[in-house]
Amino acid sequence: MLDLDAVVLAGVFASVTEWISGHLGDHPAKQILDLGSGTGTGTFALLSRFGDAQVTALDASAEMLEHLSARAQHRGLAQRVQTLEADLDTGHLPAGPFDLAWASASMHHMAEPARVLADLRSALDPAGLFAMIEFETFPRFLPDDIGLGTPGLEARLNAVADRKREEHHPTVNSDWSARLASNGFVVREERTFEINLAAPLSDDAVRYARVTLSRLRDGMSEELSAEDRQTLDALLSVDGPDRLELRSDLGVRSSRRAWIASPVS
């Protein structure tokens, strides 16, 4: 899923890293920390933008870091990537100093974001920056009326997903500007990046839609009506007449909220 996210949303990650580069100005990003790197979506976007940088990719999952290392090796970038397995709910950040820290869809997973931000402030170079990205809206792929079941299927799915996400991650809808400001950072800019891919979608984007809707179907079957489960099953069929791959109205619509902040001196 994370690798698909990187391919399908490559354009938005390129836009975000360009935006960061503008804020860095003459301060070179030589040492970068990727907080919650997963399989490397942000790591490789950063390496592409900042050609002289070394990235420390930090994640709690050894499996994801192994996958990231294999991808770096395949791309000839192994010398520019260091992986670090760490759970920031129980441990601390590496000492740094880092010119840039990046956290994409990871800060809301932290049990104590204030402690992580305090560590991050110490780990950053005084002229360094923290770039943070979070989902603003879940991806949507279908029109409101898809000709199957009751209109508004994705709105109902996303309402359940939002509620479950808040239950598991209480800080997900935080006022992150306020959190940053209260933990030793000055927010330089806050911005929304829109994602709008129109039909016809690439094969990767169609797979992205299938994987996303499949995960929603599997994770909330008890919360859905019988009709909505039946509609999803028809869309996710591998050979049925209503499967996603045969639809001409499939798109990708979402948005990411991003912040650039600097440590208070």
The DSSP code sequence of 165-225 is HHHH-TTTT--HHHHHHHTTEEEEEEEEEEEEEPSSPPHHHHHHHHHHHHHHHHHSGGGS-
Helix, strand, coil percent content, the chain, rounded in steps of 5 = 45, 25, 30
Amino acid letter, residue 82:
Q
8 A C-beta contact, residue 5 and residue 138: no
Q: Hey, which CATH number is domain 2-263, 3.40.640.10, 3.40.50.150, 3.20.20.220, 3.30.300.30?
A: 3.40.50.150
Across 20-24, 37-41, 63-67, 173-177, least confident range: 173-177
pLDDT of residue 57: 98
C-beta of residue 242 within 8 angstroms of C-beta of residue 148: yes
Q: CA 186 to CA 184: how far, in whole Å?
A: 7
Using 50, 70 and 90 to split pLDDT, how confident is the model at 174?
confident
What is the distance between the alpha carbons of residues 219 and 121, in angstroms, rounded to a whole number? Answer: 36
pLDDT digits (tens, 9 = 90+) for 226-250: 999 999 999 999 999 999 999 999 9
5 near 41, Cβ under 8 Å? yes
Residue 202: CA count within 13 A, CB half-sphere: 10
Tell me the residue ranges of DSSP E strands in 4-160: 31-35, 54-59, 81-85, 98-104, 124-140
